Amino acid sequence: MQARVKLIHRIAAVSGCSAVALGAIGAHKVKPVTQTHQYESYTTANRYHFYHTMGLFTAQFSSYPLLTAGFFGIGMLMFCSAAYMEGLTELPDLEGASWAEYMKRTKDEHKFVFLMPVGGTCFMLGWLSHILMNSNKDFFSKKSILLFYGSIESP
């Protein structure tokens, strides 16, 4: 169990590092060369990447940390990668297009846009599994604190 928790912690650390790097790339390289709606998609992806990296860090307190971390990890891969790609891909001008034409052209341009709702659902399942499956654990027990911090030092 301890090895699994360490693995989740390491994956969360790598995810946090990549979120910072992608945020910096977005602010310095993506923003100047994209349209506003593209940059909004990119920043949404980055924001959700950060939120669910924190979810990965807290997954170790769940009764089933691998399940919770799995939902967050799959959600980040599906939702964030599709949103990052949407932010980096320029859509053709669709001003005045019908709804059907807009949906068809958007789907043609963004091949992975269908992953976003599935990834969002994984995010929700991750939070629900974290909350519901944690009902038999004490968040603030000495064991949980030791597991998270490694040791408790007295002042």
Structure tokens at 74: 């799959």
**Is 155 a domain residue?**
no
Half-sphere exposure of residue 99: CA atoms within 13 angstroms, side-chain side:
0
For the CA atoms of 59, 62, 65, 69, what is the dihedral angle to 10 degrees?
A: -40
**Is 43 a domain residue?**
yes
**Is 62 a domain residue?**
yes
Contact 52, 72 (CB under 8 A): yes
Secondary structure (H, E, C), 61-97:
HCCCHHHHHHHHHHHHHHHHHHHHHHHHCCCCCCCCC
| pLDDT tens, N- to C-terminus, the chain (155 residues) | 688 888 999 999 999 999 999 999 999 988 888 888 888 989 999 999 999 999 999 888 888 889 999 999 999 999 999 999 888 887 655 566 665 766 666 666 667 778 899 999 999 999 998 777 655 555 555 555 555 555 555 54
Query: Which of 116, 99, 122, 132 shows the shortest CA–CA distance to 45?
Result: 116
Domain count, the chain: 1
Domain extent, residue 125, equals: 2-149
Structure tokens at 120: 């969002």
**Is 154 a domain residue?**
no
